[in-house]
Amino acid sequence: MQLRKSQRKQAKIKLAIQGSAGAGKTYSSLLLAKGLLGDLSKVAVIDTENGSADLYAHLGSYNVLNLKPPFSPERYIEAIDTCLKAGMEVIIIDSISQCWDYLIDFHSSLQGNSFTNWAKVTPRQKAFIDKILQASAHVIATMRTKQDYVLNQKDGKYVPEKVGLKAIQRDGVDYEFTIVFDVDSKHFARSSKDRTNLFASAPEFQITEGTGKKILNWCESGISNDEILEQIQLCKSEEELKTLYRNYPDVREELIIAFKQKKNDLLNHKNYQENGTDIEK
């Protein structure tokens, strides 16, 4: 185990917008994307909502990938890969609720013990969420919500009572995102989850391009990959390189080739000094 100093790296935002039908999730997502990039040319909408993404073409020229049933996690992953290979810098997944609906139906169709059958569902869900979190692009995912109820005892009877809106996705999925916006029927948003602290204490507001610009400033306030690459090249020993590697766990996969190459360079230099012409002289 190793302790390291905390240091925030430049990030690609992973954001969720949840709300009922007609709350403006798609429109809000496009406004955020425009604020993140300045225009929509490198924005892709993975549309599972029967072409609803095309309703907002007046905002600018963005790209649409129509995803058809079955809405399996693997098809979502394939769609994300298609967007990444096309050079998209913001991917809007509208929505991820259909994926959970698919997995619930899949679980119901399995024979045998219902509890143990979740072992066949969870890895597929995890692979999908991991794909979102590890994507080298900003990702905005929308989720449909439904009214949730609990049973409370009154006068000896159990009575259903409303307890607010619940996203149609696996419980706890909201914790995976950096920001979660709840949008109501009047198109006002509030953050129910915010690791950036940009909106944590803010009153209800309407999402605009300015909201996206605000998030972009936060994303770019950390250290960049180019700066880390420069630090890798400046390492003069394996120990320095190992320390740098431990300091940036979020970029290990992205920069693993650079780390390995520098390690080889250091080893070759060490072998040359110990066994090469320097010693012969």
CB atoms within 10 A of CB 215: 23
Take residue 100 and report the two structure tokens written for it.
């959970």
- Residue 177 pLDDT level (bands cut at 50, 70, 90): very high
In the prediction, which pLDDT does 1 show?
61
Give me the mean pLDDT over the 251-275 stretch. Answer: 80
- Residue extents of the structural domains in the chain: 14-219, 225-280
Q: Which residue has the tokens 């999925």?
A: 173
For domain 14-219, the question of CATH label 3.30.110.70 is answered with no
Q: Using CB atoms within 10 Å of the CB of residue 186, give its burial: 0 to 12 exposed, 13 to 18 middle, 19+ buried.
A: exposed
The overall average pLDDT reported for the chain is: 87
Q: What is the pLDDT of residues 93-130, one digit of tens each?
A: 999 999 999 999 999 999 999 999 999 999 999 999 99
Q: What is the mean pLDDT of residues 72-91?
A: 97
Q: Where are the beta strands (DSSP E) in 24-101?
A: 43-47, 63-66, 90-94
- Mean pLDDT lowest among 66-75, 195-204, 249-258: 249-258
Q: What is the pLDDT of residue 275?
A: 67
Cβ-based burial of 25 (10 A; exposed 0-12, middle 13-18, buried ≥19)? buried
pLDDT (0 to 100) of residue 32: 97
User: What per-residue confidence (pLDDT) applies to 3?
Assistant: 63
> CA nearest 251: which of 4, 3, 12, 80?
12
SS3 208: coil
Hey, CA dihedral for 260, 262, 264, 266, is it positive or negative?
A: negative
**Cα 89 to the center of its chain, rounded Å:** 13
Residue 11 to residue 14: CA distance in whole angstroms: 9
Biggest distance spanned by C-alpha atoms of the chain: 97
Contact 179, 32 (CB under 8 A): no
Provide, rounded to the nearest whole percent, the portion of the chain with pLDDT above 70. 87
Q: Which one-letter amino acid corresponds to residue 227?
A: E
pLDDT exceeds 70 at position 252: no
Contact 192, 172 (CB under 8 A): no
Cα 204 from Cα 83, distance rounded (Å):
32
How far apart, in whole angstroms, are the C-alpha atoms of residue 40 and residue 48?
A: 19
pLDDT tens, residue by residue, 149-165: 667 777 777 777 655 56
